[in-house]
Structure 1
């Protein structure tokens, strides 16, 4: 077949594109079994990106920058030895006590009838403070979530940095016989839209209290799915298990599709999850009712602020006192916090 001379540049460009893709795949050290996925856009073409066939595992000695780099590329990362053995042992005991007070779920679709859940972990455990304060977790959350926004005040454009806050906490124990959870995005709680909103709303952590294996229902994820828009549905065939040893942790953004796997073993698997969210969004778990005042007052100051007792640069969350918009944190110094807000003791 004979081609016109003007056609050859098209074939040249296609060959150059294929060559660039292969070079990029090699440079990113993508596994040979990795596949491509297409993300539809509002333009007249499809954008191609790589979908790794597993989450990358980094050592506990990794830097925040290394952790963030992998999360931004794949949507999540596994941190080996996130907790030391002493802290892991302490967390295991606290979580087991909390789960003992809990019952199995009442529906088999999302919650699971062979799964126990216990929330209010800042009131029930002491180890959750160490999880929240871990430099890799909070450091990555700050980097990913606290990206300044330009806001006009009159004719002056000022950068405003959002706060971060604890959105939810939960111990989850998946028992033998529990089926796969539907794949979902955790930022659905905010009805977050992709890519229209243009930023992440949440950084989630799942700490392995026991070993996470494919057989016992390790969390399944679709690496790279944080780049998808809202038109593409997730498929279980695209998911992979985030396998990790007890004491390790998986960090992933709220836009990553994931879900608990099927427990086909003879023992339960247990994990602890919590989130850092943008501070101007409503908390998924009501921390004001979940953590009693007396418990809250003995927590570290930074944790108190993360639990919602703080105002941001936009004054969200303020309390009026003597005509001033005041941070609620200042009232925690009082012996009678509710009294400072005018609540009579006889009504409590």
Structure 2
């Protein structure tokens, strides 16, 4: 497969998912796997049929491994994500980072659409894009994620019935990208070894994130991030003025934790700013005419 953002985005919209082959080195993935191994060992199994009784999950990965930022900010992946989501928002935001470990005996996850988190109308816009990075080889036997091609289309059934879907077989270093409207689910682990992966999710910048980024990465942690990563996490306004702190960009908290004596500053889209300038200029001209008269 070509490493071409336009081609991969076309496949994403055509099928509801695409595979980015060898997006990072296996050495980088191995280093990330080493960083999270002890956390997997200390994490209890999930509770509930959706998360899975033979599955372990944990988030906040940007503060658990220095190798996660490269996945979150992978330029090719972001090009695909932004192409999918930018028609519906001014900026995208990080939705979650989550490590997942399927143990032997894990059952197949119910086919589901991630966009069902949100109560808005379906089929009109895309709400999110998720990316799965295998830490161990994905096989049909060890629980490789299953996808249902075309299930993102308007009118596609929410229940695939007897259709088993496609098991996405990938080596570490490759990535599976899918739309929030695409049916998918973890497979059953029929082997005697664990299957590990990291999920990085992105959403429209005006939506509430699956993982509460501001609690996971409070200012004392986020100020160690570079500005672009901090903005992706949420320390940036979505124009116009959404997500402000005392009328300013929340990135101010990364420079100065004091919230006293701040002036509110407009943060508008260019079209809004231009319309506002014209509106104000008209009033000022009218006022000047009155004074002059």
* TM-score, L = length of structure 2: 0.84
Count of aligned pairs between the two proteins: 261
Aligned equivalents of 2:194, 2:260: Cα separation in 1: 45
Aligned equivalents of 2:130, 2:19: Cα separation in 1: 12
Q: Which residue of 1 aligns with 2:58?
A: 118
Q: Shift of the alpha carbon at 1:84?
A: 0.8
Q: Which residue of 2 aligns with 1:285?
A: 211
Q: Shift of the alpha carbon at 1:312?
A: 1.6
Aligned equivalents of 1:201, 1:238: Cα separation in 2: 25
Q: Shift of the alpha carbon at 1:95?
A: 2.3
Aligned equivalents of 2:161, 2:96: Cα separation in 1: 26
Tell me the SS of whatever aligns to 2:177: strand
As a proportion of its length, which structure holds more strand?
1
* Residue 302, structure 1, aligned to residue 228, structure 2: yes
Q: Shift of the alpha carbon at 1:118?
A: 1.0
Select the structure of larger CA radius of gyration.
Answer: 1
Aligned equivalents of 1:330, 1:168: Cα separation in 2: 23
Q: Give the RMSD, CA atoms, in angstroms.
A: 1.7
Gaps in structure 2 of 5+ consecutive residues: 262-293
> Are the equivalent residues in 2 in contact too, given 1:145–1:162 (CA < 8 A)?
no
Q: Which residue of 1 aligns with 2:259?
A: 340
Query: Could you list the runs of 4 or more consecutive aligned residues of structure 1 that deviate by over 6 angstroms after TM superposition?
Result: none
Q: Shift of the alpha carbon at 1:192?
A: 4.3
Q: Which residue of 1 aligns with 2:288?
A: none
* Residue 163, structure 1, aligned to residue 109, structure 2: no
> Are the equivalent residues in 2 in contact too, given 1:194–1:229 (CA < 8 A)?
no
Judged with a 3 Å threshold, the aligned counterparts in structure 2 of structure 1 residues 174 and 314 are, in CA distance, closer, same or farther, namely same
Q: Shift of the alpha carbon at 1:232?
A: 4.2
Q: Shift of the alpha carbon at 1:315?
A: 1.1
> Are the equivalent residues in 2 in contact too, given 1:193–1:230 (CA < 8 A)?
no
Q: Which residue of 1 aligns with 2:11?
A: 70
Q: Shift of the alpha carbon at 1:126?
A: 1.4
Q: Which residue of 1 aligns with 2:240?
A: 314
Of 89, 92, 110, which aligns to 1:182? 110
> Are the equivalent residues in 1 in contact too, given 2:96–2:210 (CA < 8 A)?
yes
> Are the equivalent residues in 1 in contact too, given 2:220–2:254 (CA < 8 A)?
no
Judged with a 3 Å threshold, the aligned counterparts in structure 2 of structure 1 residues 238 and 216 are, in CA distance, closer, same or farther, namely closer
Q: Shift of the alpha carbon at 1:234?
A: 2.6
Tell me the SS of whatever aligns to 2:13: helix
Tell me the SS of whatever aligns to 2:182: coil
Aligned positions of 1:64-213 closer than 5 A: 64-107=5-48, 109-147=49-87, 161-195=89-123, 198-213=124-139
Of 257, 273, 276, which aligns to 2:202? 276
* TM-score, L = length of structure 1: 0.72
Tell me the SS of whatever aligns to 2:99: strand
Gaps in structure 1 of 5+ consecutive residues: 1-57, 149-160, 343-348
Aligned equivalents of 1:179, 1:330: Cα separation in 2: 46
Higher RCO (CA < 8 A, seq sep 6+): 2
Tell me the SS of whatever aligns to 1:139: helix
Q: Shift of the alpha carbon at 1:85?
A: 2.6
Q: Shift of the alpha carbon at 1:194?
A: 2.6
Q: Shift of the alpha carbon at 1:231?
A: 5.4
